[in-house]
Amino acid sequence: MRFLDIRCIFTLLFFLFFAFKDTHAQQGKINIQQDVKVEKLVAAKTALNKEDSTSERYRIQIYNGSLEGATKEQTKFRNSFGWDCDISFKTPTYRVYVGKFRNRLEADRRLMEVKKKYPSAFIITP
């Protein structure tokens, strides 16, 4: 059983061909003109984000106490591991932070190494 005979199908296709023959997508060009200050501002923001991204990383805290103890632990840690090590003052104590890790997995791997010598070490989240 046929719903449409062949003449109706060809007539429909012929009509659709001529109906949609001249249709096409719009074509054009866009010119964006912006001030030079905007480019400088974007470059400054990018540089600022690069500097801030190092501070927002996972760190390992190995010591919490006096300044003398912190400097001793820092030199001892640098001699034994050779990693980046910083002393930070947070009222009322000095703290020794190790490394700047991008993700938690990397920090956990290094923490396992550090815990062999510093069992009280733990990860500081950004």
Per-residue pLDDT of the chain (126 residues; tens, 9 = 90+): 466 677 888 888 888 887 777 776 677 788 888 888 999 999 988 887 776 555 578 999 999 999 999 999 999 999 988 888 899 999 899 999 998 888 899 999 999 999 999 999 999 986
Q: Which two tokens stand for residue 22?
A: 């001249």
79: containing domain: 51-124
Determine, yes or no, domain membership for 106: yes
CATH of the domain at 109: 3.30.70.1070
Phi, psi (rounded to 5 degrees) for 71:
-65, -35
Do 61 and 115 touch, CB atoms closer than 8 A?
no
Determine, yes or no, domain membership for 9: no
Q: pTM for the whole thing?
A: 0.56
DSSP structure string for 85-105: EEEEEETTEEEEEEEEESSHH
pLDDT for 77 equals: 92
Phi, psi (rounded to 5 degrees) for 98:
-120, 135
Do 60 and 107 touch, CB atoms closer than 8 A?
yes
Determine, yes or no, domain membership for 80: yes
pLDDT for 120 equals: 92
